[in-house]
Amino acid sequence: MVGTPGPLAGRRVVVTRAIDQADELAAMLRERGAEPVLVPLVQIIDVADELARLSALRPAEFEWLVVTSPNGARSYARVHSWAPAHVAAVGTATAAALAEHGVSVTLVPAVQRAEGLLSEFPDAPADGGTVLLVQAVDAEPTMADGLEALGWRVTAVTPYRTVTARPTPGEFLAALAADAVLFASGSAASSWVRIFGTSAPPLVVAIGPRTAAATRGFGLKVDLIATDHSMKGLVDALEHHLDPRV
């Protein structure tokens, strides 16, 4: 017996992730009957001197490792095969990327953004404590400043940056003709506006409040914000919006 098509059946959904990171999200969309439109808007670039600096650091010298994105998790795993006793990830996607490389995560906040992690992060011991923070070159200072306010001595390393990737003419047209676009980062939204201006598909979905705020700041409307700030959460938000019974 053939099941009833779901609310994403036949929908064209733009995936803006870097080309080497789009497979998971595209597969989820295909499983639910959607047609992913792959339009990579960001490219992840190594920062060689910072990656070398990260490699030279000894995880044993830190009490905590804090990672703010899956890209940071991958950068860390490229140069270290183990981690400090305590590891914090800003969200489930970052935690999953660490787990793929054998790094067990101690803390994932209920509210999956910098402020949520800081609200659950312990105060430093009376004699101080050390944190290794891995994030992007253009990361906001929220995490580093917040950890220092809790009394921690923070070593921040920025081993990667994101840059705009230019779509082909075919990708450009397909993106604007789609039914929805998914943004998993503020940098993707920024790249979108550089390329497309404020033109967008009818539904714009952000992975979380910080990405939504950045997207709105660039002049785009945001129709949906994922409750679970993950790739699955993006797809769930779109599906539930199109059919609240899902």
Task: Report yes or no: 215 and 237 within 8 Å, Cβ to Cβ.
Answer: no
Q: Are 188 and 138 in contact (CB under 8 A)?
A: no
DSSP bridge partners of 66: 88, 133
- Looking at the predicted structure, is the pLDDT value of residue 4 above 80? no
Q: Residue 90: phi, psi to the nearest 5?
A: -70, -20
**pLDDT tens string 79-107:** 999 999 999 999 888 898 899 999 999 99
| Domain positions in the chain | 12-41+165-242, 45-161
Q: Provide the CATH topology of domain 12-41+165-242.
A: Rossmann fold (3.40.50)
> How confident is the model at residue 246, as a pLDDT?
57
Task: List the CATH code of the domain at 45-161.
Answer: 3.40.50.10090
The answer, yes or no, to whether residue 2 has pLDDT greater than 50, is no
Instruction: List, for residues 157-200, the tens digit of each pLDDT value.
Output: 999 998 888 899 999 999 999 999 999 888 889 999 999 999 99
Q: Residues 207-235: what's their mean pLDDT?
A: 91
Within 10 A of 21 (CB to CB), how many other CB atoms are there?
18
Give whole-number Cα distances, 156 to 37, 98, 112, 150, in Å: 36, 18, 20, 15
DSSP 194: H
Closest CA to 231 of 121, 93, 97, 135: 93
Average pLDDT of the segment spanning 128-154: 94
